[in-house]
Amino acid sequence: MIRLENLTKQYGRLLAVDALDLQVPAGELFGFLGPNGAGKTTTIRMMAGLLKPTAGEIFIDGISVLREPEKAKHICGFIPDRPFVYGKLTGTEFMRFCGGLYDVSPSALEPAIVNLTRLFHMEDYCGELIESYSHGMKQRLVMAAALIHRPRVIIVDEPMVGLDPRGAKLVKRIFRELCNSGITIFMSIHTLEIAEEMCDRIGIIQQGRLAAVGTMAELKERSGEADGKLESIFFKLTGDEDMQEVISALRL
């Protein structure tokens, strides 16, 4: 469903993403892990059509994001890490606006808004202006809006940031159910426990290159880590030097 071919992004002299090749089949929840500055958000923003790659290709359901961006975007839903939304609209109006952008027919739009409002527990504040929402409320709203057109692929950047435990549990459940229904989710995440718990497959990116990709079992086998925890595998694959530095700094 998602295919990245030789995907490269260069900012001046900095190579943020370096010839990334990756495939994610339909219905999979793919976790994209990596240290800060590894190239996760850049990859995700290229997939969402927000950044132009320096080289390479991105295919969503066989459609090139570069050559047919409108067609590709039509089947995608994007959830960014920071939910900047129009503060002067209400939650309902924002979802209606997003429905309009994706050409959702009015007859399908209104029931979808009601369902998503209920699904993300937003009934109490959906009629209020977004400018008065907390970060978590905005995050839920953005997620609901990304589902308004029934996308076949969802691209998510750090979905759990700003969510309370109840919200995080809700989102985990919703994402799992979406994948069970055949929707593909490409998700960048920092919390290793959540990645381990939720994802079918995990890709670890470091310095713009894919350091490892596979199921938990495959990663465990490849790293040779005895305790089998994703945290250990992550540090093994991304290098322990950083962690040693952090520990030394904390001891000061």
Partner 1 sequence: MLPYTSLFYPGPAQVFNRLRTGGRRGAARALVIGLMGLAFWAAVFAGFYRVLLYFNSVPVFGSFLADKLLGMALLTFFSILIFSTVIAAISSFFMSEELQLLVASPFDSDELYFVKLCETVLTSSWMVLLFSLPVFVAYGVVFEQTAAYYAIMATGLIPFLLIAAVIGIAIALCLVTTFPAQRLKDVLFLFTLFLVIGLYVLFRTLKPERLVDPDAFFTVIDYLSSLEAPTSAYLPSQWLADILGVFLFGHDAADLVFNVLLLWISAAALVVLLNFFFNRVFFSAWSKAQESRPVRATLSGLFDRLIRLVTRPFSGRMRAVIDKDFRTFFRDTAQWSQLFLLCAIIGIYLYNFSVLPLDKSPIPTRQLRSIFAFLNMGLAGFVISAVAVRFAYPAISLEGLSFWIIRSSPMGLRGLLWCKFWVNFVFLALLSVILTVCSNYFLRVEPYMMVLSTVTVLLMTFGLTSLSVGFGAMYPRFRYENVAQIPSGYGGLMYMMCSVLFVGAVVVLEALPVHLLVTAAFHGRELGGFDWIRIAASFALILAVCAVVFVLPMRAGLRRLEEMETL
Q: Does 88 engage in binding with partner 1 (CB under 8 A)? A: yes
Question: Cβ of residue 137: shortest distance to partner 1, in angstroms?
Answer: 10
Q: Does 101 engage in binding with partner 1 (CB under 8 A)? A: yes
Q: Which is nearer to partner 1, 71 or 169 (CB)?
A: 71
Which of positions 108-137 make contact with partner 1 (CB under 8 A)? 125, 127-129, 131-132
Listed in order, strand segments (DSSP E) in 36-127 are: 55-60, 63-64, 76-79
Question: Cβ of residue 78: shortest distance to partner 1, in angstroms?
Answer: 4
| Total residues binding partner 1 (CB under 8 A) | 36
Question: Cβ of residue 74: shortest distance to partner 1, in angstroms?
Answer: 4
Q: Does 49 engage in binding with partner 1 (CB under 8 A)? A: yes
Q: Does 152 engage in binding with partner 1 (CB under 8 A)? A: no
Alpha-carbon distance of 245 to 242, in angstroms, equals 5
User: Which long-range contacts does 193-199 make (Cβ < 8 Å, 24+ apart)?
Assistant: 193/230, 193/231, 194/160, 194/168, 195/31, 195/33, 195/230, 196/229, 196/230, 197/172, 198/29, 198/31, 198/172, 199/29, 199/30, 199/31
Kindly list the residues in this chain that would bind partner 1 in the complex (CB under 8 A): 11, 48-52, 69-71, 73-74, 76, 78, 80, 82, 84-86, 88-90, 93, 96-103, 125, 127-129, 131-132
